[in-house]
Amino acid sequence: MRVTFLGTGTSQGVPVIACSCSVCRSADSRDHRLRTSVMLSASGRNVVIDSGPDFRQQMLREKVDSLDAVVFTHEHKDHIAGLDDVRAFNYFTGEKMKVYCTLQVEEALQREFHYAFSPTLYPGVPRIELHRISHEAFTAGPFALEPLPVFHMNLPVLGFRAGYFAYITDANFVPEETFTRLKGVNTLVLNALRADPHPSHFTLAEAVDIVGRVNPARAYLTHISHQLGCHAEVEAQLPPHIRLAYDGLTLEFDSPV
C-alpha cells in the first residue's frame, strides 16, 4: 500500500490569499499546502479520502488515471467541494463513482450537489453511487477500512484505519473508543493546526500528546495553517518520529491492509 498526501493545508490552504507572512511568502515547496486529502493506492487501484476544492489539481499533479472510490471524513466545504470533478472518471470508465460517507455527510452532498441527485439528470453531471457508513468496518476499493470516530468541536468526524496506518483530520477530541481502535497502529496521521489554542482543531502540542498516547513508530501532522510557522523551523523542534506532512509526500507499506 502507498499513501500519498494530496494536500496538507487548512481550509484556506497555504499561502493564504492576501497574506504576506513569512510562511505565505516562503520559497520552500513544503510550505505550499493544498486543502487536506490523502490517497491510498495498491495494485494500481486508488481510493481518496476527502475531495476538497483542490481535488482536480491534486489528481492532475499525481497523474491519477483511475479512482475506485471517495471516502469522506465529514461535510465541511474544504473536504467535499471538489466532488463534482469525479465527472472525468465517470466519463472514462462509464461507471458511477462510489462514495462512502455517513448519513450526515450524505445529506450535505445532496444539498451541495443537488443536480447530481435529481430525478432528471442534466448531461455531464457527476454520477455518484452512495454507500452509507457509520462506525463499522467496510471495504472501499481494495482497502478494508475501520472508522475512527472523533469530534471537531461538536461535529462528529470519522478518521480511518487501514491495517497499521491511521488517518485523523479535523479533530480536537478523541474518544476512548477510538483510542482502543488505534491500538497497534505504527503510522499515525493527525491534524495540528497551529501552536495557539483553537476551538475545533488540535494544537501542535495537543497533537504531540495524542501521538504519545497512541505510541506509533512514526507520526505525520497535517491540516496545517500558516500560523504554525515554516515547515523547516517547526519540524526541527519535533521528536524524530514525528514529522510534518507536506503535499506530495508518499509513504510505503508492505500490505494493503
Delineate the domains of the chain, giving CATH numbers in brackets.
2-135+144-246 (3.60.15.10)
pLDDT at 85: 98
pLDDT at 121: 87
What b-and-e string marks burial along 138-168, b requiring 16 or more CB atoms within 10 Å of the CB? bebbbbebbbbbbbbeeeebbbbbbbbbbbb
pLDDT at 254: 85
pLDDT at 253: 93
Asked if residues 1 and 256 have their Cβ atoms less than 8 Å apart, the reply is yes
- SS3 string, the chain, reads CEEEEEECECCCCECCCCCCCCCCCCCCHHHCECECEEEEEECCEEEEECCCCCHHHHHHHCCCCCCCEEECCCCCHHHHCCHHHHHHHHHHHCCCEEEEECHHHHHHHHHHCHHHCCCCCCCCCCCEEEEECCCCCEEECCEEEEEEEEEECCEEEEEEEECCEEEECCCCECCHHHHHHCCCCCEEEEECCCCCCCCCCCCHHHHHHHHHHHCCCEEEEECECHHHCCHHHHHCCCCCCEEECCCCCEEECCCCC
* Residue 257 to residue 254: CA distance in whole angstroms: 9
Q: What is the pTM of this model?
A: 0.97
Task: Measure the CA dihedral 239/223/159/83, to 10°.
Answer: -150
List all residues 6 or more positions away from 22 whose beta carbon is below 8 Å from its beta carbon.
Answer: 230
CA angle 118, 123, 126 (to 5 degrees): 65
- CB count within 10 Å of CB 42 equals 18
What b-and-e string marks burial along 99-109, b requiring 16 or more CB atoms within 10 Å of the CB? bbbbeebbebb
One digit per residue, pLDDT tens: the chain, 257 residues? 999 999 999 999 999 999 999 999 999 999 999 999 999 999 999 999 999 999 999 999 999 999 999 999 999 999 999 999 999 999 999 999 999 999 999 999 999 999 999 998 889 999 999 999 999 999 999 999 999 999 999 999 999 999 999 999 999 999 999 999 999 999 999 999 999 999 999 999 999 999 999 999 999 999 999 999 999 999 999 999 999 999 999 999 986 55
pLDDT at 35: 98
* Residue 39 to residue 240: CA distance in whole angstroms: 24
